[in-house]
Amino acid sequence: MTNKDFKGFIGLDLDGTVFNNKKQISDKVIDSIKSAIDLGFVVAPVTGRPTNGLPVEFMEIPGVTYAITANGATALRFTDYKNNEFEILHSDLMKEDKVIEILEILEDYVCVPDCFVNGKGHMPTFAKEMVPRLGLTKEMTEYILSLRDFYDDLKDYVRDIHDKVEKITINFYLNEDGLVEKERAREALLKVKDIKIVSGAKHNLEINNSTVGKGEGILRLCEKLSIPKERTCAIGDDENDLDMITKAHFGVAMENASDEIKKQADFVTLSNEDDGVAYAIEKFVQDIL
């Protein structure tokens, strides 16, 4: 299928959207993705995760080829997902001095920074002991630690690679003290120029260039694929999804999203426990066709 044949684009957040609370993709959601692809739509994950964190359950659905990662900093097309072969279609990377400035600020707070580079997370060595104590689920803890590289001095690593950081995720303890620390760190980071700060989960903050967002990632990818904005749909549930919910033509909030996010959406679907993604995809596809 050539670019001009695509009927439209459907961008899907993962946690709290495609995945239910057991971190599973239901058969009904998988079938809805397959059906949309068969009808000529591009269906892609649009996630805050690095490229190597894309879920196999989603990426091995027949016809899933594209992905937007690191909150929109990178858009790519897989030529061979199983062998991790892909081409980058769009990227918006952070400057070395900006990343160093942020990491130095974070030294005053109890947290674990995580720099995404070339589709993989990079953490300080102390994260090996701290991450298991953050209060995250066993699955999330294993996901983080199994897919990261570790460095005694993360700033030295950033200096070595220069301007290649896609995103910085900052992880805090998932308790009252951690949430207070998160807001203290956010307040300090607001003084840094030309960055965007969002929260992708209760325990984290996520930092990109000010020009980056999931919505911007969708628009840049759709330009490459000759898909007009009028044929774009985005479905999500969290603060870092607002950019795509408001910039896509058909922005969908999950029922499990906050009231603020639902207010800014064009449509509110069912929850992630009730196959809300399948319901929203069906509505969008019907409206386009």
Per DSSP, 71 falls in state G
Q: What kind of architecture, by CATH, is found in domain 96-209?
A: 2-Layer Sandwich (3.30)
Give residue 1's pLDDT.
45
Domains of the chain: which residue ranges? 3-92+213-288, 96-209
- What confidence score (pLDDT) does residue 201 get? 87
CA distance 185 to 113: 12
Q: How far is CA 51 from CA 84, 159, 206, 226, 283, in A?
A: 9, 22, 16, 23, 29
| Among 65, 75, 37, residue whose Cα is nearest residue 216 | 75
**HSE, side-chain direction, 13 A CA sphere, residue 119:** 16
Q: What is the pLDDT of residue 289?
A: 78
Opening angle at CA 188, ends 187 and 189, nearest 5? 95
The span from the CA of 270 to the CA of 5, in Å, is 30
pLDDT value of residue 3: 55
Give the integer Cα–Cα distance in Å for 279 and 281. 6
Secondary structure (3-state) at 164: coil
Integer CA distances (angstroms), 194 to 207, 218, 281, in order: 10, 21, 35
CATH number of this structure's domain 3-92+213-288, picked from the four choices 3.40.50.620, 3.40.50.1000, 3.30.870.10, 2.40.50.140: 3.40.50.1000
Backbone angles phi, psi at 197, to 5 degrees: -120, 125
Tens-digit pLDDT profile for the chain (289 aa)? 455 589 999 999 999 999 998 889 999 999 999 999 999 999 999 999 999 999 999 999 999 999 999 999 999 999 999 998 999 999 999 999 999 999 999 999 999 999 999 999 999 999 999 999 999 999 889 999 999 999 999 999 999 999 999 999 999 999 999 999 999 999 999 999 999 999 988 999 999 999 999 999 999 999 999 999 999 999 999 999 999 999 999 999 999 999 999 999 999 999 999 999 999 999 999 998 7
Helices 27-38 & 276-288, crossing angle to 10 degrees? 20
What distance in Å separates the CA atoms of residue 77 and residue 29, rounded to the nearest whole number?
22
Q: Using N-to-C axis directions, what is the helix angle for 176-189 and 96-106, rounded to 10°?
A: 140
> Which two structure tokens, joined as six digits, stand for 107?
């030294």
- In angstroms, the CA 256 to CA 286 distance is 24
Q: How far apart are CA 169 and CA 183, in angstroms?
A: 14
Residue of 113, 148, 145 lying closest to 132 (CA atoms): 145
Q: Which pLDDT score is estimated for 4?
A: 58
Tell which residue, 261, 69, 57, has the closest CA to residue 139.
57
Identity at 39, one-letter amino acid code: L
